[in-house]
Amino acid sequence: MTPDEYCQNKAATSGSSFYYSFMFLPELQRRAITALYAFCREVDDVVDECKEESIAHQKLDWWRQEIKNLFSEQPQHPVTKALQPLLADFNLAEEYFLEIIDGMEMDLAYSSYQSFRDLSLYCYRAASVVGILSAEIFGFNNRMTLRYAHDLGMAFQLTNILRDVREDAQRGRIYIPADELDKFGIKINDLHQPITSSAVKALFKFQADRAREFYKKAFDTLPDEDRYAQRTGLIMSEIYYSLLDEIEEDGFRVLEHKIKLTPLRKFWLAWRASRREKKRYKRYQRLIKST
C-alpha cells in the first residue's frame, strides 16, 4: 500500500462528512487534503484509543518528532510520507501541525472547561487550525479567507460537540462550558441520561445558536474572489449545517440517540453544493468581465 493509498483508506473508512467534499477537488489538492485529514485522524485516534494516559502522551510526543522529521525531509509514517512531497506545492506551516497535536493533548489534560473562552482554545487547535491549513491547500488571494477558515472550523467543532455530547460525557469529557451548564440548571450527570428535559433542550439550543453565529461570520467574511477556490469548505458546511438543522428539527434529542446523515444524503448535499458554487462562480466571472 502506498502512502497515498493509506491516507485514502483512512479517510474513506472514517465515515466523516469531510470525505464527501474531497471528491470534487483536482488530484493534487485532493491528495493534500486527504493526507491532512489522515494526519488528524491518526493523532485523534491516539487519544480516543489509548487506555493508558502515559502511553497516549508518548505517542503524541512521537508524532511531534515525526512532524519535525516531515519538515526535515525524513518522514517515517505513511501519512507524513504522503505529505512530504506536497510541502513544495502548499504553504503548510510546521507550527500548525504541532498545534493540532497540542489540541489532542488537551483531551488528556482537561475533562471540562469553565467557560466558552476556555473552550475556544481547544476548538481553535482541534478545528480552526485544520481549517486554516485546508484554506492554504484550496488556495486564496485575500487573507480575509483565513478568518473565514478560522470561523468555519469553530462552527464545525461546535456542531460536533453538540452531536456527540452524550458519547463524550460517557468518555468523561464535557465540552459544554461549566458556567453554561450552571446557567441552565444542568448537572453533568444529566448528560448521561437519555432524557431531553426543557432545560436540556434550552441548553442545547443555546449551543446550536452559537454554532450558527460562527457559520454566519464565516460566510459573511469569505471574499467573493476566493469563494470558488474554497468551495470544498462550503460543501462541508452544507453537510454540517444540515446536520445542525436535523438536530434542531429532532428536538435536540442528542442524549436519546445519535443523529447523523446517511451517506446518500451527504453525497447529495455535496453534489448540490458543488453545483451551486459552480453556477455562482460563472455568474461572478461574467460580472468581473463586464466591469
- CA atoms lying within 13 Å on the CB side of residue 272: 10
| Residue the block writes with cell 511531534 | 64
215, 218, 224, 228: CA torsion to nearest 10: -70
Number of Cβ within 10 Å of residue 142's Cβ equals 14
Q: Rounded mean pLDDT of the chain?
A: 93
- CA atoms lying within 13 Å on the CB side of residue 263: 6
| Residue the block writes with cell 449545517 | 241
pLDDT tens string 228-253: 999 999 999 999 999 999 999 999 99
CA angle in degrees (0–180, nearest 5) for 101-104-107: 150
pLDDT tens string 252-271: 999 999 999 998 999 899 89
pLDDT tens string 196-209: 999 999 999 999 99
What pLDDT is attached to residue 145? 98
Number of Cβ within 10 Å of residue 1's Cβ equals 9
For residues 17 and 236, is the Cβ–Cβ distance under 8 A? yes
214, 215, 216, 219: CA torsion to nearest 10: 120
- CA 145/CA 230 separation, integer angstroms: 9
Cell of 178: 461549566
pLDDT tens string 178-188: 999 999 999 99
CATH 1.10.600.10 residue ranges in the chain? 110-291
Cell of 19: 470525505
What does DSSP assign to residue 250?
T
User: How many Å from the N-terminal Cα to the C-terminal Cα in the chain?
Assistant: 51
Return the CATH number of the domain spanning residue range 110-291: 1.10.600.10
pLDDT tens string 131-184: 999 999 999 999 999 999 999 999 999 999 999 999 999 999 999 999 999 999
What pLDDT is attached to residue 286? 87
What pLDDT is attached to residue 102? 97
- CA 240/CA 244 separation, integer angstroms: 6
Provide the percentage of residues in the chain whose pLDDT is more than 70: 97
One-character DSSP codes across 225-248: HHHTTTHHHHHHHHHHHHHHHHHH
- CA 255/CA 88 separation, integer angstroms: 45
Exposure pattern of 150-168 as b/e (b: 16+ CB <10 Å)? bbbbbbbbbbbbbbbbbeb
